[in-house]
Structure 1
Amino acid sequence: MTLKGNALIIQSGGPTAVINQSLTGIMTASRDYPEEIHRVYGAYHGLHGVLYENFLDLSAEENRIWQNISVSPGAALGSARIKPRHSDLDRIFEVFSAHDIKFVFYNGGNDSAEAAQLIREEANKRNYQVRILHIPKTIDNDLMVTDHCPGYGSVAKVVSHIIAGDDLDNRSFFNSVKINVVMGRHAGWIAAATAIAKKGHIDIEDDDEVGPHLIYLPEVEFNEKKFLSDVQKTYNRIGRATIVVAEGIADQLGEERFAGEVDEFGNALLSSSGKLGDYLSNLIKKNLLYNTSFGKLRCRADTLGYLQRSLAGMASHTDQADAFLVGSMAVHYIMKGESDKMVTLVRAHGENYKCETSLCDLKLVAQKTKLMPKSMINSEENGVTEDFYQYVLPLAGCVPELRALKATHVKKKLFDYVRPDK
């Protein structure tokens, strides 16, 4: 059946560095269907904008603005973490009907897929003619079926650059242990991506000092004794340690101790708290055996928070292209009559990276989480394998080329110095 009417774009959940590429992809492709798509509206602040009839007329914007919007981080339409309640459904369809909404593009993660599915089921009950497609977006990279999620490649690039620099900073001191807490509630894709920092060192082949030395993922049950043992072994080997932990290990330690608020989907806002990093830092300070002749133990923890996903100018080129692709292809699919599905990315086999798109049913995505496969986690369960590098490097793009000074030490001519206590 041929549908004609207005289109509505909803951005939902946490923003990414490339979510606006998908928005621009929709706007660009929608121009190919002037007879079917009369106007394109944007719900201002996600479902909140639908409920309060707060729409932006995107068709009224000049075409030239979209190039700048596409490379800007954050959700240009605004976002929200709102789950449709039964009491909201009448209002949602009153608004849809009033504005002749026939095409809905729901851009978000698995919670957004769930919201899109709930609206779709209600539309079926009401015999309301509307097509809905979910466009994948999440830095967590945890959506089922799709090879990867737009937003992940950029955060992988950002965190790997941060850790590469942070490890060289840490290397500047004796007795220095640094902990970085990154996003990732149930899946450790972001934490794992910090391992890219190792690939940037020019002298990587003969230098096992390059961090991150230890990476802890939610896919592996966290054990404090093993954690302390890993840190001690790393210190004994190189005199310091750079550690990355996914925020989701807090679940295994007792989420209530580390979480902030809880959203409408029941997700604890772990990144709003620095408690996990402080806890692990204090654990190391109390238990690590270190060389006191080098001074006191330096142990610090940072929670990277929202900066991971919002650094302007740091988006991965691959990530930008893939985000635009899923947005534009969503329009072409929906014009072919597709609905109740998510656009997926399918990686082509071969030496050079290339992705195409496909579709999957929303029920395969909503309320589900894709974890890292065991083949990408090392046998010590504190790092990654070569399989992961092959997967992630094309998504993140460039790796910073760094080098640590490894000059020849001058031969000593005197006895070892013993520094007085005072």
Structure 2
Amino acid sequence: MNSMTLKGNALIIQSGGPTAVINQSLTGIMTASRDYPDEIHKVYGAYHGLHGVLYENFLDLSAEENRIWQNIAVSPGAALGSARIKPRHSDLDRIFEVFSAHDIKFVFYNGGNDSAEAAQLIREEANKRNYAVRILHVPKTIDNDLMVTDHCPGYGSVAKVVSHIIAGDDLDNRSFFNSVKINVVMGRHAGWIAAATAIAKKGHIDIEDDDEVGPHLIYLPEVEFNEKKFLSDVQKTYNRIGRATIVVAEGIADQLGEERFAGEVDEFGNALLSSSGKLGDYLSNLIKKNLVYNTAFGKLRCRADTLGYLQRSLAGMASQTDQVDAFLVGSMAVHYMMKGESDKMVTLVRVPGENYKCETSLCDLKLVSQKTKLMPKSMINKDENGVTEEFFQYVLPLAGSVPELKALKAPHIKKKLFDYVRPEN
């Protein structure tokens, strides 16, 4: 902690993929900043992340009317504009020229793993230059893969969205004979989003056999993907219930040969897998070629969707818990910084107890930068194609449950005629 009194302007940087609640953190920073008029003179926003810093393109957020922030808070997408730019050593002179010209003394870097890396690089350079500035990383990522923090703002909302989508999609799939549906969701290295689709099972209040409710199979990057096992799992599920709803994290493409499925690559070297439907198409064709099915019910109906970018910023679908937590990390970042804290990330700490409650703490940036939090084995089922009850206890307070869904329970009547054999033509 640096107890030296600093006075000057604050800069907020939104970086990486937007979320449904990223602007709650922005609003939290703006709200708490008003408590420190002597220290924080003005609050600027970098227009499109680090790009805005390099090109001296700032928004004067202090000039906004206070009443606008309640609407900004609930709006998805990065209100300041985002960018996936990794600061190069050749950029550092420019960054500190801009900081100095605009008297930037407080930097709030709102983002995920790559943003933590960028914040750490800028912090280290500030030390070398003896430039007085405090930098705190405000966590944000739908992937939920930041170390130390219990969970990441943005995750609860995407978990809610994908679970609602899969709950409906499974009923859609159930409407047809011989139907197999594959849904590819985000999650390059960690399977937290794919796992969250299992919440869809919790919405069926009247189905005695939980095995009937999808998603029936979930594949995570934490588990080595084996095509033979995948096909065996699908075949067993089809043999049991005559259909299958499958969820796959985009990250299994790494194990199948990422170059076959990726679109572009960003400046941090991350393949952009969500912009392509190639993985879903590949798995769909694999099933079509290998699944043994009952031809009496017609042809095999195998479809694949890549949920893509829609899942992370669906308006009106943000989790209430996620909104509260996102605002909290933003506002607490200001309070921590005014106490002299720097070079750290704000973390969420779940308080033990029957009812969900979270507090905040801090961790060193070096514990987060260039690191990934994977799902623990205890949250993955023994067949490595689903989740355990421990995961439900973790995720449900963050995302909430899906609406209560019902399925018809009426019995089939007794047949009076011979089975019908339908002519091919």
* Kept in 2: contact 1:196–1:389 (CA 8 A): yes
Measure, in 1, the Cα distance between the counterparts of 2:207 and 2:87. Answer: 50
* Equivalent pair of 1:160/1:194 in contact (CA under 8 Å): yes
1:232, CA displacement in angstroms?
Answer: 0.1
Unpaired runs of 5+ residues, structure 1, are none
**Residue in 1 that maps onto 2:25:** 22
CA deviation string 1:298-354 (max 9, x = no partner): 000000000001110000000000000000000000000000000000000000000
3-state SS, counterpart of residue 270 of structure 1: coil
Deviation at 1:203, TM superposition (A): 1.6
TM-score normalised by the chain length of structure 2: 0.99
In the TM superposition, what is the alpha-carbon distance from 1:206 to its structure 2 partner? 3.0
Q: Partners in 1 of 2:71 and 2:321 — Cα distance? A: 17
1:406 Cα shift? 1.7
- Alpha-carbon distance between aligned partners in 2 of 1:406 and 1:114, rounded to the nearest angstrom: 54
Does residue 333 in structure 1 map to residue 336 in structure 2? yes
After TM superposition, list the pairs within 5 Å mapping 1:182-331 onto structure 2: 182-331=185-334
Identity %: 95
SS in 2 for 1:400: coil
| 1:130 counterpart residue number | 133
Task: Give the whole-Å Cα distance in 1 for the aligned partners of 2:302 and 2:159.
Answer: 25
Residues 202 and 401, structure 2, Cα contact 8 Å, conserved in 1: no
Alignment deviations for residues 198-219 of structure 1 (CA, whole Å, 9 cap, x no partner) = 0000124434210000000000
Deviation at 1:404, TM superposition (A): 1.3
Of 138, 156, 161, which aligns to 2:159? 156
Instruction: List per-residue Cα deviations over 1:247-283 (Å, max 9, x = no partner).
Output: 0000000000000100000000011111000000000
Mapped partners of 2:245, 2:267: distance in 1: 35
Q: Secondary structure at the match of 1:286?
A: helix
Distance in 1 between residues matched to 2:324 and 2:83, nearest whole Å: 25
Q: What does the per-residue CA deviation read over 1:46-91, in whole Å, with 9 as the maximum and x for residues that have no partner?
A: 0000000000000000000000000000000000000000000000
Once residues 293 and 152 of structure 1 are traced to their aligned partners in structure 2, the CA distance between those partners, rounded to angstroms, is 43
Task: Write the distance in 2 (CA, Å) between the matches of 1:361 and 1:164.
Answer: 39
Match of 1:104 in 2: 107
Contact conserved, 1:174 with 1:240, CA < 8 A, in 2? yes
RMSD of aligned C-alpha atoms? 0.6
Unaligned runs of 5+ in 2: none
Deviation by residue 1:114-141 (Cα, 9 ceiling, x = unmatched)? 0000000000000000000000000000
Residue of structure 1 equivalent to 2:59: 56
Deviates more, 1:182-191 or 1:393-402: 393-402
* 3-state SS of 2:247 partner: strand
The alignment partner of 2:330 has SS state of helix
Figure out how many residues of one structure are paired with residues of the other and give that number.
422
Distance 2:204 2:94 in 1: 56
Conserved? CA contact 2:201–2:210, under 8 Å: no
- By how many angstroms is 1:367 displaced? 0.4
Note closer, same or farther for the CA distance 1:207–1:385 as it changes in structure 2 (3 Å cut): closer
User: Residue 141 of structure 2 contacts residue 155 of structure 2 at CA under 8 Å; is this kept in 1?
Assistant: yes
Give the conservation status (yes or no) of the 8 Å contact 1:24–1:324.
yes
Task: Tell me the distance in 1 between the aligned counterparts of 2:406 and 2:367.
Answer: 45
Partner Cα distance (1:54, 1:268) in 2: 28
TM-score w.r.t. the length of structure 1 is 0.99
**Which piece of structure 1 moves more, 48-57 or 200-209?**
200-209
CA offset digits 1:156-194 (Å, max 9, x no partner): 000000000000000000000000000000000000000
Please say if residues 10 and 105 of structure 1, whose CA atoms lie closer than 8 Å, have aligned partners that are also in contact: yes
- C-alpha deviation, 1:396, in angstroms: 0.1
Moved more, 400-409 or 52-61: 400-409
Q: Is the 8 A contact 2:280 2:306 kept in 1?
A: yes
For 1:110 and 1:262, the matched residues in 2 are separated by 16
Could you tell me how far apart the structure 2 residues matched to 1:206 and 1:255 are?
37
- In the alignment, is the contact (CA less than 8 A) between 2:167 and 2:402 conserved in 1? no
Instruction: Say which SS state the counterpart of residue 26 (structure 2) adopts.
Output: helix
Shift of residue 39 of structure 1?
0.1
CA contact under 8 A between 2:274 and 2:308: conserved in structure 1?
yes
1:363-385 Cα offsets, whole Å, 9 max, x none, are: 00000000000000000000000
Provide the secondary structure at the position in 1 that maps to 2:106. Answer: strand
CA displacement at 1:294 relative to structure 2: 0.3
Partner Cα separation in structure 2 for residue 301 and residue 406 of structure 1: 29
C-alpha distance in structure 1 between counterparts of 2:272 and 2:218, whole Å: 21
Alignment partners' CA distance in 2, 1:217 and 1:252: 11
The CA deviation at 1:408 is 1.3
Any conservation in 1 of the 2:235–2:292 contact (CA below 8 Å)?
Answer: yes
| Partner Cα separation in structure 2 for residue 314 and residue 401 of structure 1 | 17
Aligned-partner SS, 1:49: helix
1:194–1:212 Cα contact (<8 Å) kept: yes
Q: Say yes or no: does 1:417 pair with 2:420.
A: yes
Distance across 2 between alignment mates of 1:420 and 1:80: 59
**1:398 Cα deviation (Å)?**
3.5
Q: Matched residues in 1 for 2:208 and 2:409: separation?
A: 13
Distance in 1 (alpha carbons) for counterparts of 2:77 and 2:352: 32
User: CA separation in 2, counterparts of 1:95 and 1:207?
Assistant: 58
Q: Contact 1:198–1:204 at 8 Å: present in 2 too? A: no
On the 8 A contact 1:285/1:297 being kept in 2, the answer is yes
Aligned partner of residue 417 in structure 2, secondary structure: coil
What CA distance in whole angstroms lies between the structure 2 residues aligned with 1:194 and 1:404?
19
Is residue 175–residue 296 contact of structure 1 (8 Å, CA) maintained in 2? yes
Equivalent-residue separation in structure 2 for 1:49 and 1:398 (angstroms): 39
SS across alignment from 1:344: strand
